[in-house]
Structure 1
Amino acid sequence: MFRKYLWLVCLVFTIGCFNNPVGAVEQFFFNEQFESMENWGPFYFPKIERHSSYSIIKEQGESWLQTASAASASAIVYKKNFNIYQFQRMKWRWRVDHIYQKGNAEKKSGDDYPIRIYVMFQYDPKKAGFMEKIKYNAARLFYGKYPPFTSLNYIWANKKHQQKMIKNRYTDRARMILLEMGSENLKKWREYDVDILSDYRQTFGEDPPAIARIAIMNDSDDTGESAESQVDYIQIYGK
């Protein structure tokens, strides 16, 4: 699982390194209605042969992203970056058909979710401390690029937890924000509007790097179970 996480935070190197954010400030960075997959690229984890699937479903003039995982793991990544200080809010709607019975956000063995949205933040060597620079320079030598600095994970947790924000069990560079917990709202569309900048400050206790990118994943390689979920739309926008 650690390798899965490490490769995921390095996925920007496979799809393309961090680009400069859009120059002009606009209300929306993007408004993804999932009419096609052209804005997204796949990411496959080394040594994980079974891949989750992502496809577009169209019915009666509506379209959405369909995800499915069966003892598998892979992700899709949006192809462009954005400036979190220009576009700090994210709004979306998703639905989950099944949860993972063995899933548990507080255990490494249960770190699978039927749907999650990653927000990954770019490492800035100009702001890094001495030990941080050593670690990230070593990672760059191995992967060819710097891995992202930190990430927020907005998840549909498989069970109830006392906390709504949890450190990832594999790395303190990732925070899990539990928007849904358990089976109560299965097969219902659930809509969220979050302030990414505020969530970052609350969970990490500091300001984030300016440049970010998002990814979507349904994974079940740890639990060996299966689940499907849908994402109706995602919007990244400013105030």
Structure 2
Amino acid sequence: MTTPLRADPFEFSYLEWEWKIEKVLESGDLTKKSGDDFVARIYVTFDYPVSELPFGQKLKYRAYKAFTSFDIPLRSLNYVWASKEDIGTITESPFTNWVQYIVVNSGNEEAEEWTSLKRNIVEDYREAFGEDPRQITGITIMTDSDNTEESTKAWFGAITLSKE
């Protein structure tokens, strides 16, 4: 589920949310395409002009656009509940460096419990991409298992952007 929005990350720098999982996806592995699934993730997408992509990435973007009708974010932070990776890990998606994963929960230790998190979007974006973020364009919640073909559940509570 995606909520499109426009927000200045320097004004609304904090993302807060609650979530709960049944269990992690045992085959989940954020470093491999075959394991690129998460029991819970929150995407924060950012404006980024195609014109500023390197030539090869512009071609990649045009190829993607040829096969889809929706906007493809060129910068996205994904806060994930990973299967086994260390909390605090930041790494790019095995599919594209336009998506950076930040592991904020991992494993089954807190499964079946509501967990509350608060992240500084500007700091996370700078660490993940090495530059300042542009305008926030959307927030998406997701549970996916298309690569691992496993099954689990996640619940999402309130998700808010705030100034502090």
Q: What is the TM-score normalised by the length of structure 1?
A: 0.61
Work out whether 1:227 is the aligned partner of 2:114: no
* Counterpart Cα distance in 1 of 2:61 and 2:152: 38
Q: Closer, same or farther in 2 for the Cα pair 1:140/1:160, shift >3 Å? A: closer
- Aligned letter for 1:131? F
Partner of 1:138: 62
Larger radius of gyration: 1
* Counterpart Cα distance in 1 of 2:61 and 2:157: 39
Partner of 2:112: 187
Q: 2:22, 2:154 within 8 Å by CA — same for their partners in 1?
A: yes
Q: 2:15, 2:160 within 8 Å by CA — same for their partners in 1?
A: yes
- Aligned letter for 2:100? R
Partner of 1:173: 98
* Counterpart Cα distance in 2 of 1:154 and 1:97: 18
Q: 2:87, 2:106 within 8 Å by CA — same for their partners in 1?
A: no
Q: What is the TM-score normalised by the length of structure 2?
A: 0.87
State the Cα distance separating 1:200 from its structure 2 match: 0.2
Matching residue within 60, 76, 100 for 1:151: 76
Q: Closer, same or farther in 2 for the Cα pair 1:139/1:187, shift >3 Å? A: same
The one-character-per-residue Cα deviations of 1:107-140 (angstroms, maximum 9, x if unpaired) are 11111111100011122357x1562784487369
Gaps of 5+ in 2: none
Q: CA RMSD for the aligned pairs?
A: 2.4
Percent identical among aligned pairs is: 31
Q: Closer, same or farther in 2 for the Cα pair 1:140/1:104, shift >3 Å? A: closer
Partner of 1:101: 26
The one-character-per-residue Cα deviations of 1:17-66 (angstroms, maximum 9, x if unpaired) are xxxxxxxxxxxxxxxxxxxxxxxxxxxxxxxxxxxxxxxxxxxxxxxxxx
- Structure number with greater CO (CA < 8 Å, separation at least 6) is 2
Q: Closer, same or farther in 2 for the Cα pair 1:124/1:133, shift >3 Å? A: same
Partner of 1:206: 131
Q: How many residues align?
A: 163
Q: Closer, same or farther in 2 for the Cα pair 1:144/1:237, shift >3 Å? A: same
